Amino acid sequence: MREALGGLLAVALFAAAGLGLAELVPALRRLSILRRLAYTYLLGVCWVAGGLYAGSHLVALPLRTPSVLALAAVPILLGVLARWRRQPSQPKLPTQPLSFLPLAAAALVACVSVAVFAEALTSPLDDWDGRMTWAAQAAYVRHEGTVSPTALVREKWFVTHPRYPLLLPVAQAAAQEVAGAGPDEQPFRALYAAFYPVLLLLVWDGARRRAGRAAAALGVLAVAPVPLLSFVGEGRAAGAYSDMPLACFYGAGLLLLLRPRLRPLDGLAAGLLLAGAALAKNEGALLATATLLLAALYRARPWRRIRRLAPRRRFARALAPVAAAALPVLAAILLLASWRAGIPNRHDEGYFALLDPARLPGQLVTRLPVLVPIALEKTFLSPSWGTFWWMAAVVLAAGWAGVRRRCGAVLAAATAAPLAVGWLAYSVHWDPSYVASVTWERLLLQGLVPAALLLAAALRHCLRRARV
């Protein structure tokens, strides 16, 4: 019970820090509290764990409770101050009564979320990468109170993937510190469990804006029961893989950058979320960069419509949020490079060392006959995904006319980006079929938020066409 309370306290601390940050972000301030919650939790994790990561590496900030509380207190105080100074208070938008579909979706998400938290807080961690990499790294980090513990920086000690980004292990260590966890107590598991409702709130928020309440609720109903998200397979919220956090940071950053009328502060918040993606997993930096490029392409066109401004100012206004978003991403990538410089690599694939630009074009093509059957099997026949991709493929084919717009193209590219990164990795790996068979399902998870938005838009189109 103590463990559970400690875990929930850590989740509340991250959410409170994010809530403070959200008060400073106009695009988030406009959202209802429910839709804002997902972004606030993610922002809180990025701010606190990212701040500890940077502080520990750059100025030897000790990863102990006072540092965690001080970092969380800054945005909370700023948020309170911003709210207090905002005069007069903004009029509240009228709330619509909830209809059956949103209520059903909310009930399903609530049921599964409670069960995920219950499972995470009463059963010891027993997944593969969670124990092999993320939680083991967190134990070394917490013990020495630094992101460069002896076990990582001295080559002779046995550590797998020592250069993997440490955002989630640092968040784990922060949660363990705040909860005062002893040996074998795992309050950090609540952090991962929270990513389940967060991902579905992101789907609800993004789909509601693009497809309306009914289609958004259907989108949530379609995604929420996917076994991989909760209890089955590698990457579930009841475990400690970094794929679901990455899916959330990546999806949230993308959604924020696709909003209309963004200001530079909104861009900074999106950049913080994408920095979280870059610091969560190796592929996160590539996905964050891809998001910035997609957002720049998406936002570059509407500036033509702002006729009353001079062309240079129109362009600047459209792209200023993306430029602001690039700053935290760049900082995260530089931090990662600087931290990695002190960590000797071992027990790791070392993809960059395997990359041979001269051979790559050939490898990208010649390995497809091996990779495509594995990808198809893991997409359509995996118990972890159940019937989701069968249904999604048919609905998207039938309702594609409803998403064939500029935003649809961006979402499709964002869904495909993790798969493209995987394809690149499989093309240089010495055992492509093995690595594809153990990672493909998680790559699908990483692109789930944009995929679910496409699905919701296609569903809306199908509903209209079928005159239901």
Contacting positions for another protein (CB under 8 A): 1, 3, 108, 111-112, 114-116, 118-119, 121-124, 126, 128, 131-132, 135-136, 139-140, 142-144, 149-151, 156-158, 160, 182-186, 218, 221-222, 224-227, 230-232, 238, 386-388, 390-391, 394-395, 397-399, 401, 458-459, 461-463, 465-468
Token pair of 104, please? Answer: 């059903």
Asked if 142 contacts 180 with a C-beta cutoff of 8 angstroms, the reply is no
**Distances, alpha carbon 190 to alpha carbons 134, 171, 222, 358, 458, in Å:** 15, 11, 24, 46, 34
Whether omega before 88 lies within 30 degrees of 0, making that bond cis, reads: yes
Q: What is the nearest approach in angstroms of another protein to the Cβ of residue 15?
A: 22
Cβ nearer to another protein, comparing 228 with 288: 228
Cβ nearer to another protein, comparing 104 with 360: 104
Cβ nearer to another protein, comparing 88 with 183: 183
Cβ nearer to another protein, comparing 334 with 438: 438
Q: What is the nearest approach in angstroms of another protein to the Cβ of residue 466?
A: 4
Q: What is the nearest approach in angstroms of another protein to the Cβ of residue 347?
A: 8
Q: What is the nearest approach in angstroms of another protein to the Cβ of residue 389?
A: 10
Asked if 129 contacts 161 with a C-beta cutoff of 8 angstroms, the reply is no
Q: What is the nearest approach in angstroms of another protein to the Cβ of residue 367?
A: 24
- Which residues fall within 8 angstroms of residue 156, CB to CB, at 6 or more apart? none
Cβ nearer to another protein, comparing 363 with 379: 379
Cβ nearer to another protein, comparing 28 with 455: 455
Distance between CA atoms of residues 350 and 347, nearest Å: 9
Q: What is the nearest approach in angstroms of another protein to the Cβ of residue 421?
A: 25
Distance between CA atoms of residues 443 and 417, nearest Å: 9
CA torsion through residues 278, 282, 288, 293, sign: positive
Cβ nearer to another protein, comparing 234 with 243: 234
Q: Report how far Cα 163 is from the mean position of its chain's Cα atoms.
A: 20
- Which residues fall within 8 angstroms of residue 183, CB to CB, at 6 or more apart? none
Q: Which of 331, 269, 288 is nearest to 55 (CA)?
A: 331
Distance between CA atoms of residues 426 and 448, nearest Å: 20
Q: What is the nearest approach in angstroms of another protein to the Cβ of residue 178?
A: 17
Q: Which of 450, 1, 433 is nearest to 207 (CA)?
A: 450
- Size (the chain), residues: 468
Token pair of 389, please? Answer: 């991709």
How many CB atoms are located within 10 Å of the residue 382 CB?
A: 18
Q: What is the nearest approach in angstroms of another protein to the Cβ of residue 136?
A: 5
Cβ nearer to another protein, comparing 121 with 326: 121
